[in-house]
Chains A and B, each alone.
Chain A
Amino acid sequence: AQSVTQLGSHVSVSEGALVLLRCNYSSSVPPYLFWYVQYPNQGLQLLLKYTTGATLVKGINGFEAEFKKSETSFHLTKPSAHMSDAAEYFCAVSGAGGSYIPTFGRGTSLIVHP
């Protein structure tokens, strides 16, 4: 079985501030981990993914995430928030039972204040 917990349904930051979105996962096997972004009235877009290898993963738009096995975490960060980063962010895990179907978290809404 696999599951994802995203801590905080809403995160509010000021423009230029650090963005930190938290994700913890549960998986019985080494996981594949993903972060997706969803802008209003649009589909999901992949920001980054971890499969194997380097635990610090860099994605698009200046985002990165670090896989920490000991903490079962895959938190998403960005050094400096832009107004255009305001969106819904989903963490997802796959790999359990040989399945590549991701299990998504409930999402975190990022609000960026000017």
Chain B
Amino acid sequence: EAGVAQSPRYKIIEKRQSVAFWCNPISGHATLYWYQQILGQGPKLLIQFQNNGVVDDSQLPKDRFSAERLKGVDSTLKIQPAKLEDSAVYLCASSPDGTDTQYFGPGTRLTVL
């Protein structure tokens, strides 16, 4: 069974630029999550999708972050414009129905200069 795929693996941008990350969850998993992991900290949930609907985006900085999950499969997370404090690893995870174990992708390491 293929795992959660993410791309790119690494991205370096300058502040005020835009960036987008892509995630393809495990086939058949209805729930998809985006986490932000700042160096030295545990992951923090940004947004949770159930199929193509948003379940929880209370910790998403909506003035600069956006996410979508068209057709309830893969998802894109965008930052526009980026700030220095957005430097982090962005992890995507999926689970069968939101009540079970989450499976994590390898993450995208973002550096904002």
Given known A-B contacts A41-B106, A43-B106, A45-B104, A101 and B91 have beta carbons under 8 A apart: no
B43 and A44 contacting across the interface, CB-CB below 8 Å: yes
Q: Mark B1-42, 1 if CB is under 8 A from A, else 0.
A: 000100001000000000000000000000001000000111
Check B104–A44 contact: CB distance below 8 A.
yes
- The answer to whether B91 and A44 have CB atoms under 8 Å apart is yes
Interface 1/0 per residue, A68-94 and B, CB below 8 Å: 000000000000000000000010100
Interface residue from A41, A46, A101, A106 paired with B101 (Cβ < 8 Å): A46
Contact of A100 among B42, B98, B104, B109 (CB under 8 A): B98
B48 touches A101 (CB 8 A): yes
> A107 interface residue, CB < 8 Å from B?
yes
The distance in angstroms between the C-alpha atoms of A42 and B41, with both chains bound, is 15
Check B42–A92 contact: CB distance below 8 A.
yes
Residues in A neighbouring B33, C-beta threshold 8 A? 101
Residues of B within 8 A of A104 (CB): 42-44
* Dominant secondary structure of chain B at its interface with chain A: loop
Q: What per-residue 1/0 map shows which CB atoms of A12-43 lie under 8 Å from chain B? A: 00000000000000000000000010000111
| Closest CB in chain B relative to A26 CB, distance in Å | 15
Q: How far is the CA of A100 from the CA of B104 in the complex (A)?
A: 15
In the complex, A49 Cα to B103 Cα: how many Å? 13
> A90 near B42 (CB under 8 angstroms)?
yes
Residue from B42, B45, B48, B105 in contact with A43 in the complex, judged by beta carbons closer than 8 Å: B105
Instruction: Evaluate contact between B42 and A106: CB separation under 8 angstroms.
Output: yes
- Which B residues are within 8 Å of any A CB, using their own CB? 4, 9, 33, 40-45, 48, 56, 91, 93, 98-107, 109
**Which residues on A are within 8 Å of B, measured CB to CB?**
4, 9, 36, 41-46, 49, 90, 92, 99-102, 104-107
